[in-house]
Amino acid sequence: MNLTYVLSIFFLLVLFFSFLGILLVFILYPLWLLILSYIRAKKHSWYLANPSIPSVSIIVAVYNAEKIIEKKIKNFLSLNYPKEKLEVIFSSDGCTDATEKIIKKYANNRIKLISYNINQGKAHALNRGVKHASGDVIFFSDADAILEENVVYEIIKHYRDPEIGGVCGQRVVQKEDLPLKSSQTSYIKFDSMIKKLETKIGSITSNDGKLYSIRKELFQPIDDSVTDDLYTCLGVIIQGYRFIFEPNARAYISLPSRSPSHEIQRRRRIVARSLRGLYLRREIFNPKKYGLYSIGLFINKGLRRMMPVFLILIFFSSAFLSRYYSLIKILFLAQICGYLLAVLYIPCKKILSTQNPLRKLTSLAFYFCIGNIGTLLGLLAFIRGEKFSKWKPIKTDF
């Protein structure tokens, strides 16, 4: 048995399992969810254990948000829900600009400011906010998320079902003519499709920090090194409740990624923090206790984070095998073409309109590449034990 034969077998196995990982995330898992949604779709237990309308507290962690905070306050005042049942708590995380001054202009028994003069991170701000909340249901929303008028009712209706412990809303990107918009909205659409299917059979495996809610009694303090949305979602499920998605509860946002460098750093931080949260909640990966949810979480949150590793393995294994197999040679050349499309985005952005098909194609390839670079950096940061506790987001007005 010669070395070339051994290496060929090895790289064929690497190629097969790397492809299998990608297929599980983007094709087999969604297909599996679709089939299960027809076989074992869950139904709400629509009865009122308590006929009264629950009180709601909206927690907003803020850091140097003077450009957008007044718009957030006015958005809160426009929400359609009984005034005596609704409050908003702005938890200042060491703001050094005029954010607190603006909030104080509106402060009353419905609009409250929790001020802290040290920047400790978003988790600390949210934990402080919950301590001052009086609502039966806690909503979490970012300062730059503008909520639809009926968003509270759209979420609250689900708490008539005693099995529901948390509800996540739908993020919607505002109509901005900015680079990478179509690519980012495509990613959000795919993620929302997964959430809809997961909700039909049980609980979602990815929460959205722009708008989500939980029963107050289920809240557990958020660790400062994790993503608050996923960590809170998993905590609800560990306590034996469902966490679902409501697509009609819309939160309008600006583009998450403002530039390639911003996207890489943003993805690096999110991936490292989400993996840290999964590690701290690792008991949930026990399928004997949590059943199919454990498998879905592993695929959607674990394997998806391994995507850049799979891509690297596929590239180098196909490069070696392309000398011996014509089909694999085609695969290798296809990868090269895909990465060249990503490089072409830079000149296409300058000379083509945002609606041009070639620009859209190169934008998708470019966003895919920088997203995976950020994911790989986040994966490495998690392995090295890096923690991202401080919270200094880039927030811009619409």
How high is the pLDDT of residue 77? 95
What number of H helices and E strands is found in the chain?
A: 14, 8
- Consecutive 10-residue runs of the chain (398 residues): their mean pLDDT? 84 95 95 90 60 89 92 95 95 91 93 89 93 96 94 94 95 68 73 94 93 97 94 97 96 76 88 95 95 95 95 96 93 95 86 77 88 95 85 55
Cβ-count burial of 338 within 10 angstroms (0-12 exposed, 13-18 middle, 19+ buried)? middle
Is the four-CA dihedral 65, 210, 174, 393 of positive or negative sign?
positive
**Residue whose token pair is 């560990």:** 238
How high is the pLDDT of residue 2? 79
How high is the pLDDT of residue 137? 97
- pLDDT (tens digit per residue) in 355-391: 778 777 888 889 889 999 999 999 999 999 988 776 5
How high is the pLDDT of residue 179? 54
Q: Do 187 and 226 contact (CB within 8 A), yes or no?
A: no
Residue among 230, 57, 222 nearest 127 (CA): 222
Q: Do 144 and 396 contact (CB within 8 A), yes or no?
A: yes
Q: Report the run of H or E that residue 195 belongs to, with start and end.
A: helix 181-201
CA distance 122 to 61: 6
Q: Do 382 and 276 contact (CB within 8 A), yes or no?
A: yes
What DSSP string describes 71-111?
HHHHHHHT--S-GGGEEEEEEESS--SSHHHHHHHH-SSSE
| Residue 334, number of CB atoms within 10 A of its CB | 11
SS (H, E, C) 264-300: HHHHHHHHHHHHHHHHHCHHHHCHHHHCHHHHHHHHH
Strands of the sheet containing 137-141, edge to edge, are 111-114, 86-92, 56-62, 137-141, 211-215, 164-173, 242-253, 146-147
How high is the pLDDT of residue 398? 47
How high is the pLDDT of residue 184? 67
How high is the pLDDT of residue 296? 96
Tell me the whole-structure pTM to 2 decimals: 0.90
- pLDDT (tens digit per residue) in 277-301: 999 999 999 999 999 999 999 999 9
Q: Going from the N-terminus, what domains does the chain have, and what CATH number goes with each?
A: 56-258 (3.90.550.10)
